Amino acid sequence: MKSIEETQIMIQKAFQDPITDLLLKNSNLTKTQFETLMIDLLIDVMSDEKVPFKEKTIFRTHKVSRGSFSRTLSQARHRVISSIFTIVLLSYVGVYDSKPFEEYENLAEKLREYLTAIEKSGTSHSPSIYRRIEEELIVGIEALSRPTKLKVV
């Protein structure tokens, strides 16, 4: 597993990304729930063995108990699952057409493009590339999040 400092830097970077910020503000997860979920997922991926909640709590921005970490993680997982069920429900009752997630897939592809550009650029990144992709993503996200986007087809 990476060091505590490296893991905390990875988590902090996620919160400094303007796209993450925009998506988080419009999601149904609180910042604390998102942070807790990210810590849980990152540590599980980076570690070869099971890491107990007690050890995961040290990665949180603010010190919390094992029980608090566990409750927040449970709330985050419940909200993610609930969101998936909501989309499936709306698709089932006809709010979406036969390709309900095509626009979301296009947006997800733009997000991957954005992340790839960041990873490839390393220290020699071009702010104009980021701004262009960020602007495209913001326009796409805002378009998909308009309440009028939900209509029975």
For the chain, which residues make up each domain, given as ranges? 1-18+28-92, 94-153
Residue 8 tokens read as 């905390």
For residue 150, the one-letter residue type is L
Q: Could you tell me the pTM of the whole model?
A: 0.74
Between these two residues, 63 and 153, which has the higher pLDDT value?
A: 63
Between the CA of residue 8 and those of 5, 17, 142, what are the distances in Å? 5, 15, 30
Cα–Cα dist 80/75, whole Å: 9
SS3 99: coil
Averaged pLDDT for residues 24-34: 91
Predicted local distance difference test score (pLDDT) of residue 52: 86
**How far is residue 59's CA from residue 14's CA, in Å, rounded to a whole number?**
14
pLDDT band at 125 (very low <50, low <70, confident <90, very high): low
